[in-house]
Amino acid sequence: MSDGLIPRRYAKALYKYAVENGDAAEIYGILKNLSFRYASIDELKRVVLNPKISEDDKGKYMLENVLHAEPGTSLDKFLLLCVRNNRAEFLQKISLAYVDLYREAHEIAHVDITTAVPMPDAEINAIIDIVKKRLGAKELEIHKQIDPELIGGFTVEINGLVLDASVKRELNELQLQLQKK
The CATH number of whichever domain residue 79 belongs to comes to 1.10.520.20
More confident: 38 or 138: 138
Q: Which residue range(s) make up the domain with 16? A: 5-104
137 and 86 belong to one structural domain: no
> For residue 2, is pLDDT > 60?
no
Based on the fold, state whether residues 130 and 100 are members of the same structural domain.
no
pLDDT of residue 16: 95
What pLDDT score does 102 carry?
96
pLDDT in tens, 60-119: 777 677 666 666 678 878 877 887 888 877 888 888 899 999 999 998 988 999 999 999
108-115, strands of its sheet edge to edge: 139-146, 108-115, 153-158, 161-166
Could you tell me if 66 and 117 lie in one domain?
Answer: no
At 1, is the pLDDT very low, low, confident or very high (cuts 50, 70, 90)?
Answer: very low
Among candidate residues 88, 104, 120, the one where a domain is terminated: 104
Enter the DSSP assignment of 120.
P
| Coil, helix or strand at residue 109 | strand
Domain end point (choices 70, 104, 138): 104
Residues 87 and 15 in one domain: yes
